[in-house]
Amino acid sequence: MVSEVPAGLPGRVRVVGTGLVGTSVGLALTRLGVEVSLHDPSPSAMALARDLGAGRLATPWDAPPDLVVVAAPPDVVADVIRRELAAHPGAVVTDVASVKSVVLRDLAASGADLRRYVGGHPLAGRERSGPVAARDDLFDGRPWVLTPAQRTDPEALNLVRSVATALGATVSTMGAAEHDEAVAVVSHVPQVAASLVAARLRDVPERAVALAGQGLRDVTRIAASDPGLWTQILAGNAPAVSRTLHALRADLEEVLRAVDALAADDHAGGAPGARAAVAGLVAGGNEGQARIPGKHGTAPTAYALVRVLVPDRPGELARLLQDVGRAGVNLEDLRLEHSQGRPRAVAEIAVVPAAAATLLAALTEHGWTVHG
């Protein structure tokens, strides 16, 4: 198998931790012809990963690996890395933990050989976890941040970069601290906010929850995530999460003061500045939201939306998208909006603005009820 491995990739990789990410790494590397050995403290998780095709089980008689990928929970990851560095003195060791500073600090404190360690974080989590949720394309087009330490050997960095690139990820390098600040804002604090909003739904009557719309569904989707994992992530990145949460809290205090003033004002026309404060928050949200990159990592594009009524029967959506394809129009994005209590959905099709008129005409001709 080793002869088939693409240039620049390691011939033998040891994966420690066969959850969602570790198993996905194993699946993807095996597909590329790399020899993968698997290890996990849970024999059943390890066997399942093997049965899924992520590699073979590690044994004490294995030939030394070129690379060790540590995909252990954040709480124990530094310990596992230290052990793997010691056990495999010829190997580069990387990890996939979503927090980086604390791991690096613990490793440095333990006197580990940092020349052979390359911190890494593929941003490829899901609400689901475990080897069953693993996919060999999990990293396809996802960001994968590498956080080399000052002492990290450039060759070690190159090896890990080759692997992440071969797995389809978009690789960038930054310092551990910069990484942690970034994910606090784009991932960890959004998780906290989603949980805070969802937690409010526990105490309201059924009749109130029945008024939920797509907005609430979107805001709270990630609130379904695993409490155990997220406690480790938030604890591991506590300093950066704290800074961002304090900033968010300051904004919240301002809105709360404004809303309280408006509530107390009782239409007396007073509460000066309160409305401006509320409008300022929503406008600030507009600005921040507009910075989020769109599809394919490019800047967000203003797509034109074409809305089509789709009967909720097998094959109808297929027939629609076939007609879209026949019109020669590329669908940039698709959102299905289901209606409550009615067997009909609205498909919102995003296309480049220049294609919208063509699409509208073509779909109308095919008998679809279309709204531009």
User: Using CB under 8 A, which residues numbered 169 to 198 contact a copy of itself?
Assistant: 170, 172, 174, 178, 181-183, 185-187, 189-198
Q: Which of residues 120-139 bind a copy of itself (CB under 8 A)?
A: 123, 125, 135, 137
Q: Which residues of 34-73 are buried (b: 16+ CB within 10 A; e: fewer)?
A: bbbbbbbeeeebbebbbebebbeebeeeeeebbbbbbbbe
Q: Which residues of 194-207 are buried (b: 16+ CB within 10 A; e: fewer)?
A: bbeebeeeeeeeee
Q: Does 145 bind a copy of itself (CB under 8 A)?
A: yes
Q: Does 318 bind a copy of itself (CB under 8 A)?
A: yes
Q: Does 342 bind a copy of itself (CB under 8 A)?
A: yes
Q: Which of residues 244-303 bind a copy of itself (CB under 8 A)?
A: 244-249, 251-253, 255-256, 259-260, 262-263, 265, 267, 274-275, 278-293, 295-297
| Pick 63 or 210: Cβ nearer a copy of itself | 210
Binding residue count for a copy of itself, defined by CB under 8 A: 139
Q: Does 154 bind a copy of itself (CB under 8 A)?
A: no
Residue 285 and residue 228: Cα distance in Å, rounded? 30
Q: How many CB atoms lie within 10 A of CB 236?
A: 24
Residue 304 and residue 306: Cα distance in Å, rounded? 7
Q: What minimum distance in Å lies between the beta carbon of 120 and a copy of itself?
A: 13
And the tokens for 265? Answer: 């004002």
Asked whether 223 and 190 are in contact (CB, 8 A), the reply is no
Residue 369 and residue 198: Cα distance in Å, rounded? 35
Q: Does 333 bind a copy of itself (CB under 8 A)?
A: yes
Gyration radius (Cα) of the chain, Å: 25
Q: Which of residues 94-113 bind a copy of itself (CB under 8 A)?
A: 102, 106
Q: Which of residues 224-243 bind a copy of itself (CB under 8 A)?
A: 224-228, 230-231, 234-235, 238-239, 241-242
* Residue 310: Cβ-neighbour burial (10 angstroms; 0-12, 13-18, 19+): buried
DSSP 265: H
Q: Does 114 bind a copy of itself (CB under 8 A)?
A: no
Which of 4, 89, 217, 272 forms a contact with a copy of itself (CB under 8 A)?
217
Which of 7, 63, 211, 302 forms a contact with a copy of itself (CB under 8 A)?
211
Q: Does 51 bind a copy of itself (CB under 8 A)?
A: no
